[in-house]
Amino acid sequence: MKTQNLQTVLKKMYLPILVIALFFNFSSCVEQTDATKTTVNSGEDTGEIVQSDIDLTGKKIGYCSPSLNAPYYQALLQSIQSSTEKNGMIFYAADGQDDINKQIAAVEDLITKGIDALLLNPKDPDALVGVTKLAKAAGIPVFIIDSSIDPSAEYVTTIQSNNLANGELAGEWLVKKMGNKVMNIALLSGNAGNPVGRTRKQGLLQGITEEQLRTQGKIDLNVKTQAYTEWSYAGGLKAMEDILVAHPDINVVITESDVCVLGAIKAIAQAGKTDDILIVAGADGQKEAIKYIMDTDFYGCTAMNSPVQIGKNAVEYAIQYMNGKRDFKKTSFTAPLLITKENAAKYYNPKALF
């Protein structure tokens, strides 16, 4: 793909994303949604009826997101809301607004509303431990979704994609693609200390080294630099601009998330290096990334981290808890899946939020 054409594609892709993000930034911190009103419209019905021996009418599900500044968080919110309301329950949404203190306050507000289950996506694995204990004291079960929390927290289970296995699949694919060619790698991460990012990074590096040992009998892992993007398009753009100045020999970018690298593509295009750099993501299967995989050769693969499936599972587990189930695994994974040019069209949905 020519750089000029790529820049045109980028402009078309980013405008609707920015509009959605601005809409959510002006939303209130905590709100009760109306079952007849869709907060976010992705063009698909994500709710499912879950078998229940008790009447769920009037039961309240509270969900607190760390932020709503990315399509993933918006799609996860919609999935939880749709599944909650399809099962006749009341949905309360809270936005941490990318601020730990605000997320703590938002969860405390949810607790005061007398919810029957709390679904929590923590911005920080340690800072949110206290509110889980408050929830337990109020008799409210807590389900951690997407991210992770310190084991000292009071929670039923964590629902997330298999970040380690997904990363390993992506790392393995990279080595098969590059063969014996020297890799000068830049790593784009989310934010420092994030347990999900750390696991995804571990998976990527394990996948690379294991496949090198298996096929080449050696490890040649040349990670030239790591940069943090704060899980944002703008952060990825800035990080990549700096990397290309400091390390012009970079020929591979690996990343913990599609969102970390989608902004970076603009910097790569502006530097005229779309033919020189291969991108590999350890997660998420965002529709923009899948489109790049379908249409270009520089975005090699990504791994599925479905917010729709995670949202459905979270509501289903909450309903199971209300029905008396207690023997939950401490972590519940969705199935690992690698998306490449060979299968990308199967998973591409232009109407999806994410």
* Interval 237-269: pLDDT, tens: 999 999 999 999 999 999 999 999 999 999 999
Residues 129 and 202 reside in one and the same domain: no
User: In the prediction, which pLDDT does 89 show?
Assistant: 98
Residues 172 and 151 reside in one and the same domain: no
User: In the prediction, which pLDDT does 2 show?
Assistant: 39
Residues 47 and 154 reside in one and the same domain: yes
Residues 151 and 184 reside in one and the same domain: no
Residues 170 and 282 reside in one and the same domain: yes
The identity of residue 58, as a single letter, is G
Residues 176 and 245 reside in one and the same domain: yes
User: Phi/psi zone of residue 352: left (φ > 0), alpha (ψ -120 to 50 degrees), beta?
Assistant: beta
Lookup: tokens for 82? 């749709």
The reply to whether 221 falls in a domain is yes
Domain boundary among 259, 286, 303: 303
Residues 152 and 223 reside in one and the same domain: no
User: In the prediction, which pLDDT does 194 show?
Assistant: 85
- Residue 50 DSSP SS3: coil
- Planar angle of CA 213, 217, 223, nearest 5 degrees: 55
Residues 251 and 277 reside in one and the same domain: yes
The reply to whether 146 falls in a domain is yes
Instruction: Determine the Cα–Cα distance for residues 185 and 188; give it in Å rounded to an integer.
Output: 10
Mean pLDDT of 331-354: 94
Strand-pair category, 338-339 with 299-303: antiparallel
Instruction: Determine the Cα–Cα distance for residues 302 and 340; give it in Å rounded to an integer.
Output: 7
The reply to whether 168 falls in a domain is yes
Domain boundary among 303, 325, 346: 303
- Residue 62 DSSP SS3: strand
The reply to whether 3 falls in a domain is no
CATH of the domain at 197: 3.40.50.2300
Residues 262 and 219 reside in one and the same domain: yes
Residues 321 and 295 reside in one and the same domain: no
User: In the prediction, which pLDDT does 1 show?
Assistant: 44
The reply to whether 348 falls in a domain is no
Q: Pick from 153, 161, 223, 147: which is nearest to 191 by CA?
A: 147
Q: Pick from 115, 139, 116, 111: which is nearest to 128 by CA?
A: 111
User: In the prediction, which pLDDT does 10 show?
Assistant: 43
Lookup: tokens for 255? 């990343």
**Sign of CA pseudo-dihedral 76, 266, 295, 190:** negative
Q: What is the value of pTM for the model shown?
A: 0.76
User: In the prediction, which pLDDT does 46 show?
Assistant: 57
Q: Answer whether 190's CB lies under 8 Å from 257's CB.
A: yes
Residue 45, pLDDT above cutoff 60? no
The reply to whether 50 falls in a domain is yes
Total number of domains constituting the chain: 2
Q: Pick from 132, 114, 136: which is nearest to 124 by CA?
A: 132
- Structural domain harbouring 86: 21-162+306-334
The reply to whether 13 falls in a domain is no
Lowest mean pLDDT segment, chosen from 7-21, 31-45, 85-99, 137-151? 31-45
Over the stretch 22-31, which tens digit does the pLDDT of each residue have? 333 333 334 3
The reply to whether 12 falls in a domain is no
Residues 109 and 27 reside in one and the same domain: yes
Residues 158 and 176 reside in one and the same domain: no
